[in-house]
Amino acid sequence: MQPTNYPHINMLLDTLLTRMQGVLDDKLIGLYLYGSLITGDFDDHLSDIDLLAALSSELTPAEADAITQMHADIVRESAQWDNRIEVAYNTLHGLRMFKTERGNLGIISPGEPFHIVDAGDEWLVNWYFVQVYGVTLFGVPPASIIEPTSKQEFLDAVKAHILAWREYINDIDQRPGQAYAILTMCRGLYTVRHGEHVSKRKAAEWAIETFPEWATLITNALAWRLVPNEPNVDHAATLEETRRFVAFMIGEMEREL
């Protein structure tokens, strides 16, 4: 199976699956690829690999330790994947009941080591993506194990996420975070207005045309995204404009309510 157009990523996915099966055996029910590799926004030098591993039951402490070591080994063997792999380990029960119950979810993501979090309906957008767009690397189809989510539920969750940036923006100061905020606003508003999820670039191009007064900032955000470790950046120089843009887009989203 060649799930992507990138042979080296297909090798990584095969390695992840094989090693997960070595740790979890029959507890691993399914493994699903989603995110930018599926939606068409993937940058081979920058983007994350997003995966859902569906489990028959919660991880034991020993399994959690083994998963932690597995991910560390993969990064040690291929440093290019350091801080670029996100895998959520959720149970069948959690995937069926996430709208009404909270439960444990194992997660490794860029900037964070593997750990267990309390998870619930804030994962609705992720599980909708897996259900609708996800590629099955192993196991049963994702729609057969994830609680069905309607497009309206998805759009409502996107609206809520954009409005929550009133608070989130207070934790953003660095240039990469500013780029993420700007492009998230563009894609969120595009999604709600057009009823479909598109790449960040396509959403940004739409926002540039729709809001020409913000064209320079949005164009800059696309460029900033490509150089997250650029040295000697004056992060403060663009922060206030970024915050004004976020506030503007929240106002546009409020008009959609």
pLDDT tens digit sequence for 211-234 = 999 999 999 999 999 998 899 999
Distance of CA 219 to the CA centre of its chain: 22
Architecture of domain 7-149: 2-Layer Sandwich (3.30)
Residue 225 backbone zone (phi > 0: left; psi -120 to 50: alpha; other: beta): alpha
Which strand (E) or helix (H) includes residue 46? none
Query: pLDDT digit string (tens) for 95-113?
Result: 999 999 999 999 999 989 9
C-alpha 100/C-alpha 109 separation (Å) is 25
Query: pLDDT digit string (tens) for 117-148?
Result: 999 999 999 999 999 999 999 999 999 999 99
The pLDDT value given to residue 41: 82
Q: Which residues lie closer than 8 Å to 189 by C-beta, 6 or more apart?
A: 162, 203, 207, 249, 252, 253, 256
The pLDDT value given to residue 215: 98
Could you tell me which of 1, 60, 78, 75 has the C-alpha nearest to residue 33? 1
Query: pLDDT digit string (tens) for 167-207?
Result: 999 999 999 999 999 999 999 999 999 999 888 999 999 99
Tell me the two tokens of residue 249: 């887009």
Coil/strand/helix, residue 116: strand
For residue 40, is pLDDT > 90?
no
The pLDDT value given to residue 1: 67
Alpha-carbon dihedral angle through residues 206, 211, 216, 221, given to the nearest 10 degrees: -50
What integer is the mean pLDDT of 57-77?
97
